[in-house]
Structure formats: C-alpha cells, structure tokens
Chain A
Amino acid sequence: MNNETFQKIKQEALADWQALKEKTVIMVGTATCGRAVGAVEVMRAIDQELANQGVKDAVLMEVGCMGHCYAEPLVIIQKPGYPAICYGYVDEGTASVLVKEFIVGDDLCIEFALAATEPNDMFPTFEDFPRGMVEQKIVMENCGIIDPHNINHYIANGGYEALANAIEMTPEQVLQEIKNSGLRGRGGAGFPTGIKWETCQNIEDDVKYVICNADEGDPGAFMDRALLESNPHQMLEGLALAAFTVGASHGYIYIRAEYPLAVERVRMAIEQAKDKGLLGNSVLGSNFNLELEIFQGSGAFVCGEETALINSMQGYPGIPRHRPPFPAQAGLWNKPTVINNVKTLSYVSHIIKKGADWFKSIGTPENPGTAIFALAGKIINTGLTEVPMSTTLKQIVYDVGSGIEKSKKFKAVQIGGPSGGCIPESLLDTSIDFDSLSKIGAMMGSGGMVILDEDDCMVEIARFFLDFTQKESCGKCTFCRIGTKQMLDILERITKGEGVLEDIDYLGELAQNIKNGSLCNLGKTAPNPVLSTIRHFRDEYEAHVIEKRCPALMCKELTTFYILPEKCERSCDACIGSCPVECIYSNEDRIKVIDQEKCVKCNSCLDACPPQYDAVIKLSPVDMLKVKENVIDE
C-alpha cells in the first residue's frame, strides 16, 4: 500500500489509539442489546462515581456488542498494569463498586469478572473457555472493542486499508479476489457474491448503484443491527469496495426505521469517512467517487426481499416482482444494482486485505468463512456468535450456548428465521453451512437460531412461524396469499385437537405446492417449518390428531391444569393468590382444586406452587383429568 494520503490518516489514527491504550479506559457495551438491560444507566452511574471519586484521567467510552448478550450490561476495564477485564451483569451498584475498588483502588473485583479480553498470565480469556475454542471472529473481531463513534479506532485496527489498497488495483483485480474467495451472500440464499458483482461489472452503464440490505426483518435476529451498531465502518468499507468494483458512484444503506441507534451510528460513520476523504468525491485522491445515503425502511418483512426493497425505495409498495431481470442487471431505477447483506459486505475488506486463500482456509471449500448466529430460546448463553462454517450444531448448542436452560431435555434447533426448519437431536452433528442445512430441510437464512426443549410443541412452533409469514405475505401471488392461510387454518385446527389424520398429508401437499409455485422466496420458504416438523416430528402431529394429546403440554386446548391432592400442602395458598381469574378453591380438606370451567390455562398456579411441593401438573389429553378425578372419587 503506497497511498500517502492514507498513510497520514493511518498514522493519526494509530497515535490516537496508542494514546488510549496507555490510559485507564472503561468501556460500556451500549448496543441495543446492552441498552435493553440498562447499559445507559450503568454508563451514567460510572460517570457519576468517577466524578464523586475525583477520578480525572480515566476515559469512559461506548463500545458495541461482543456477543455475550446473556451477560449484559457488559463493562470492560483496561487499566495500565492489568489485563483488560470484561465484567458481566453489571448494574448501577456494581458499576460504582468497580470504580471504587478497581479504578481508584487496586482490587480487580474478580467476583464480577467474566474473562479477560487479551491473553495474560493472571486471568483466563474468552478464548480459554469451550466457547472460545469453537468461535472464530472475523467480522465480530472488533465489535465491543472499538468505539463505533470513532473512525480512528476502526482505522487503527486495520480499517480502510483494503479500500486504500483497492484503489491502487483495477476493479477487475478486486473482483477476481472476491470471486476466488468463494464468498457467499449472508442475506439468506448464499448466492456467490463474486458472480453477482461480475454481472453488474460487465454491464456498461454510466449509472449503477450499490445497496446494503440492513432490513433484517426476521423476528429474533439482530446480527446486522449489532454489526452496524458496533462497527459501522466495516460495512461501509465493504460497500465502498463493491461500488469500486462494479463502477457505482452512488450507494444506499437500507436500514429499518426500527433501528434508530444503527441509523445514527451509520450516519455518523458516513460523515466521518467523508471528512477523512474515504468517501465522497475523489476517494483518497483517486478518481473514484462515492456518495452514500441512508434509506429508512418501514419495516415489513417482505421489504427485505431485494426486488420489494427496490420498489419501496422508488416510492412504490414493497411488493416483489419476477426475476430475472435480477437487480444486478436492472435494479434501482432500472440501473444495474448490487444488493448485499450487512454481513456479506462486512467480510469484503478482510478478504481484500488478507487474500482469498486466507478466507478459503476457514470453513469448507463450498462454504468458506464464518457464520454468525443469534442464539435464542431455551439456551443458557443467548447472544451472538461467530463460528467457522462446518462447525456442528452440537458445538453451537453445547459449547457456545452452554446447553439447555434449567437442565431440560433438548428437542430441536429452529434455524434460518421464520422460514427455516426444525432440526432434531439425531441430526445435531450436521455441519452448519448453506448446503448441509438445506439438505435436511432447514436453511442458513440470515442467522437466527432458536433452541427448543421438551416443553416446546413442534406443531405449535410450526403454527407460530407460519402465522408470522402468513401475516407478512404481501398478498400478490396465489400460492403464498391463499395457500399459507389455508395451511395456517389446518394447523390451528390440529393444535386445538380438531384435526384429522388426512390433514397431515394434505398439509405436506399444500406446502410442497406453495414452495414450487410462489413468486418470491417468502412464499417459497414459508412452508419450511411445517415441512421439517412433519418430517422429523410426525409423531407429535399424530398425537394431536389421533389422541388429542399435546406431548409437550403446550397447546392450551389439549391440556388441563391439575393439582395433585397427595402433593398439595393444604395450608399453603400460593396458587390461589396467583390465579388471575380466581378459579382455585379449597375443598373441605383444604386441598386446592381448580374450577376447570373458569381456568384460562395461564400457568400462574404452576409457577406459584413452591418447588418443594410441586403439586400443580399439566395433563394431556384433557380426558386424563377424568381418570385422575375418578381415582379420588373412589
């Protein structure tokens, strides 16, 4: 790299970063995940305590999300002479303790520490835990370490070097590197990024566009949000490299309006990059120009589909259209347009900097690189993780996620967002990559992963996800509009115990046709949760229709609550007080009885009954109640 302008920028950034490294720095994770549990308050408490203690030389800094969302709010303290330590579950009280004991005093407060963030000989780092051995961070590497508001932090850690390198190369050379790397789109479909860019590069047109798709409409997914909130420049650099490669001088970042913090941080990042000459006219003195703008989407799930996204940017309703032409051929305002996901773009600078061979050394030949997942559901460590493609589901659930909550039994992984599939225990050795997952009826999707346990009913799970896609169907085409509604009606019947055996096969038949017949990928993938649960959990469907029994005791219509007389403590009235409809009474022996007519099956009594008595149980099918009651009568 011999761009002098960039060298100067880099020196300045390094000096800035170095100066920071020599100070006491308190970093608070203030991405949305941290904010949701009080990170801003923690930050304020630290500020207050620093003032109270008269500490003047400590720097209080905001950082993004490291992925350990289960332990938010997170605070990292870097104090000269000590390894940087990450503290978890910090509240305002802990915050002032940390200031008093560690910043002012010299007590590391290991009782609050999760791990060190850099190797040292005092304290284990995240990498020393089973999770750290599985994880490999490329795009999340600097998340939670650098201040997303400060471009110098990004530059000091290698940022914009790829762009500086690229403008000394030809667009064809950059394209070749991306093609060689085998990078596949992380927005869901896994389409090779190089081929998309090549299509666009090959079309002669004065006006072309690049768009970053940050619509992220999957419920429960927040990888893109976390990346934008934690390291916005990484995506911007990728977008700039895309623009340089295809010959675009205008780009947009399509962010859902529900992500105000991401919008704010990206906006600030664009401004700072422009100020440094890394965006705008004549990037780093070259003849490459790039104007970037944010477009705020109004949040419909289908607007994440690229043709719907373009329609909505042009002021039309967000409704998909037939492809081809693909956006790379005729996209925004009918001009060749590259659309990539936030994650996809975030890999680009690393590939240009470290080379295609390095990228291909991670993951599998067909699926190089890492995958980022948002772990949710019945798992101990919820949050974000980045692992090499080819990691198995088992490693994610047990090593990264630390297994199932409350020592319950694992049942399935729902992967790929609302249109993904459910994977049973027997397939937990499946490696996560685009191809292996689609082979077993699931999909990579954009990276949502929900862990389900024995208390989750697979029919209800399928109904839940289909309910989402059915509501989000734009309604344009026949199969998706009417077909998903028909499927949902059948599923509702089954969860209410009104289904018949033929329903199961008919569901499968409808599902297959919706997959084959729908216009866009929303409809084409919407039946996945139903198909995969029928495939792997058919016994649960059959229990619902034949025995009117919900094996997981989840479907309300098929379960009742019952208080075991032999277990009820009698003098304890916990359940009575907890019932919102006051339908629990004491019989002559003071044993508690539920008035089944009035019961709304809200679970309150079950939760309220003290664990040492454990007298409230659920029964399914509902007829089991008669059996129980007869025993008492006799």
Chain B
Amino acid sequence: MSVIKAFSPQSPTFRLRLGKWLDSAVAETVLLPALGIATFLLLWSVVASQINTSLGAFPGPVQVSQQATALISEHRAEREKEAAFYQRQEDRNAKRLEKEPDFIPKIRAYTGKATYLDQIVTSILTVLTGFVLASLIAIPAGIVIGLSRKVHSAVNPLVQLFKPISPLAWLPLVTMVVSAVYVTDDPMFEKSFINSVVTVMLCSLWPTLINTSVGVANIEPDLQNVSRVLRLGRWTHIRRVVLPSSLPMIFTGLRLSLGVAWMVLIAAEMLAQNPGLGKFVWDEFQNGSSQSLARIMVAVITIGLIGFALDRIMLYLLGRVAWDPETATR
C-alpha cells in the first residue's frame, strides 16, 4: 500500500522527487526538450488526421518523414543519372578519338532538374550573398550615422520609412530594375538569383544599420574623453575606440539581419522563381499531388532548421568577437 501511496501524484515524496528530477541538468538539456518535441509530434498527428484538404488529409509526422526520405533518394538517383550521363559522353568521346585522332572532344553539361538538396544549397548561397552585401553597406553607413548627430537627423526619417517595407513590395520593382539594368549576353548569375539577392539585401539592411548606429552613438563618454585627450585621429578613433566598443551591438544587428534575410528569402524565391526552397514550396503547391503537402511540410521544417542553425552560428561568432564576455551570453 505504502508503495502505491509514494508514487501517487499527491504524495509529498513524489512531488519532491519530480521537482528534483526536473531541476537536474540532464532534464533541462535533454529530457524536457525531448518531451516537448514528443508532445508536439503527438498533437500534430492527432490534429493532422482531422484536417481534410482537397489534396487529402493533412500530412502527419509519418508521411512527412517518408517524403523527406523520398526527397533524399530522389537526390541520389539524380546524381547517379548525372554521373551516368557524363560517363556515356566520355565513353562516346573515347571511341570517337580512336577512330579520328584529331577530334576535339566536347562535354555537354548535364541539365537535369534541381534536387531538393540543390535547392537548399541555392537558398543558402542566395541568403548569404544578400546578407553579406547588406552588411557591407549597413555597417559603414551605421558608423557614419552613429558618429554624427547631423547625419543621423538627416537619415533617420528615411530609415524609419524603409525599414517596415515588406519584401513583396520591393520585388516587382527590383525585378523591373534588374531586367532593365542587368543586360549581358553571358550572364554570370541568373536574373532570378539577382532579384532574390537584391530583395534580401534591401530588407535585411536595417537591423544592422540601426544597431550599428546606436552602438556607435552610445560609446561610453569616458572612452570618448580618452580619445579626445589623446587626440586620436579620426581613423584611429574609429579603429581603436568606435569599432571595438560597438562590436557587440553590430553583431546583435547582424544576427537580427540574418534572421530577417532568411525569412525574406523564402518569400522572394517564391515570387522570383529563384531555384531555392521558396520555389520548391511554390512548385509543390502548384503541382497539387497527394504528396505535395507532405513535401511542403518537409520544406517548412528544413527552413526552420536552417534558420535556427544560422542564428546559432551568429551567436557563436558574437561570442568570439566580444571583448566583454558579458555581452556574449545575451
């Protein structure tokens, strides 16, 4: 009897043990997150089976994981086809070379369709390109704005105006401008790539710009005085005082910007038809097969995981550059 009592939820020993158990480090880092995820999966499969769409029941975790495996095996199959394609060409060329020694062999590039993994790579490349370009503009501009109250007053209304603009509003304009300006016979980049990059850039500029300018404007007055008393030149002042002291703020801005960039990218790819995850979602949606919803769910989860990974990388970098260990843990 007493055994049953000890394990009944009302008994104080049970509560004590549960409490202790929940406080342990293992529970915090492994068990509780696992519990959260398990609950989510359970709820998902229950709710999913209740929702009937025109494409059949909403996919549950099982269907989604099946599609994830399917997408990976499609990728493998495509790569094998590609290898076989090149192999065939080489064989053919070798044969022909035997017959006509002065034949110059040509290799035609394989133009199979992009696999799911290819699309992930494209998305990551696009977002990083847009993000790097945005940072190259936003950090110097933020420093200039932060250093001068006058520049700040002049620029601030514009920043506030441009900051809340959605990528969907930019994209048509960007598309038109890019097709007008970017005309070459031998394009190094696809137009759709450039459209996405520019849109990502326009939207992800602002957090870095604003954080940099705030960081620069709020350098400790004592350090400003040091700089004045030592009469540091403008460049030395920026390099030795301004940059290091606003580095944590700059990186916080970069982290926010990268998050924005990743969100914007998916929308931009959908519309610009840049061959990335966004286009994948859009194509599946248009396709409307019985597997489409499950495939879109795979993409949704992938988008979340990559966004999470990018954020972690930025957090790690922030910890590396911060001279003050306090700021790294925020």
Partners in one complex: no
Tell me the A residues contacting B by CB distance below 8 Å: none
Tell me the B residues contacting A by CB distance below 8 Å: none
